[in-house]
Each structure stands twice: as structure tokens, then as C-alpha cells.
Amino acid sequence: MKLAELVGENITVRRRQLGLSQKELATLLGITQDAMTRMEKGKIAPKMSRLEDLAAHLQCPVSYFFRTQSDEVLEKATSIAEILMTVPGDGQEALVNLVAETARVMNLKNEK
């Protein structure tokens, strides 16, 4: 995946999370909906100043647009580790087992 495509995909995800249409975001940015569509599809790459405007309107840091799936997984793993550190020693093992079992059950459901 090219960088422009990654950035465009992340713009789309964040815009949808906030319930904005392409047209609404384009209007906020002062660009055409066609330009917004091309940006989201990775056909054109936004300049840094445009990324800053996007971040402001989409209420996220500029770095959000460069996130990959592995970044998201790492963030979630870090969150689980932070929770785990709040639990006394014996409980940590039980919590790890609970997470493992939950993942196993969820994977079984996805296989059906």
C-alpha cells in the first residue's frame, strides 16, 4: 500500500467515526468533494498544511493518518498490559488466561 493510500484510508475511517460526509469535510477544508474523494482514495497526497487542517477538523493528531494495523494492535496490547499491571500477581495469571480464553472463543465464532 502506498503512503497516500494509507493516509487516505485513515482519513476515511476517522471521518466516518465522527459521522461526517465527504461533502461536509470538504466544505470545512474549503476544497471540492471531488478533491476529498481523490484524497481518501490515495490518488492525491495531502500537503502537510492540509494534514494539519484535517487533524483539527477530525479531532486527532496528524500522526493518526500514518497509522497501520500493527500500530493499532500494539496500542491495544499496551492498554491490556497497563490494565494487567494494576492487578496483584496471582490475579495477573488469571487475567491472562481469561484474555486467552476469550480470544479462543471469539476465533471459534468467527470460523462459523
Domain residue spans of the chain:
2-66, 69-110
CATH, domain range 2-66? 1.10.260.40
pLDDT value at residue 90 = 83
- What distance lies between CA 88 and its chain's CA centroid? 32
The pTM assigned to this predicted structure is: 0.68
User: What pLDDT score was predicted for residue 20?
Assistant: 98
Map the chain to HEC letters.
CCHHHHHHHHHHHHHHHCCCCHHHHHHHHCCCHHHHHHHHCCCCCCCHHHHHHHHHHCCCCHHHHHCCHHHHHHHHHHHHHHHHHCCCHHHHHHHHHHHHHHHHHHHHHHHC
Per-residue pLDDT of the chain (112 residues; tens, 9 = 90+): 799 999 999 999 999 999 999 999 999 999 999 999 999 999 999 999 999 999 999 999 999 999 888 888 878 888 888 888 898 878 888 888 888 899 888 888 888 6
